Structure formats: structure tokens, C-alpha cells
Amino acid sequence: MFPGVGYALGTMVFDGMTTDVSYGHTGSGPTSTSILVVVPTRRLALAVLCPERDRPVEQIARQLLLALH
């Protein structure tokens, strides 16, 4: 469990990702990092897949969501 992040059944509640409540999942493999963010009130889903393991996908997703606002 991460401070400020609810987690259950593979789904996280992201605090501070957007002004609305958002849910999703993060993951990393040997050669990539990813995040899925769903914002139900905006009917929006965003997926980011970076081909490098150490990329800050949460920050990238947050910037993209701000640009879409």
C-alpha cells in the first residue's frame, strides 16, 4: 500500500492525478513502464507506455491530463 493511494484488485485510486477522482494501474516490465488512468466523470481513459523502464509515467500522464483539461 502506498500513502495516499488506495489499492484493491489491481486497481489504484490516484490522488492528485486530476481534480476529479481517477483510477487505474501502473506497471513495469524488463523493458518498459506503463500507466492506465481512467477519469469516469470526464469519460476519459489514458494509457502511457514508455519503452524504457525508468521513465516517470505518472508525471507524463499528469501532464497529458492537464493538457486535455
pLDDT in tens, 9-47: 678 888 888 888 899 999 888 899 999 999 999 999 999
Q: Can you give the pLDDT at residue 2? A: 52
What pTM was computed for the model? 0.79
**CA–CA gap between residue 47 and residue 33 (Å, rounded):** 11
Extended strands (E) in 5-68: 6-8, 11-14, 22-28, 33-39, 44-50
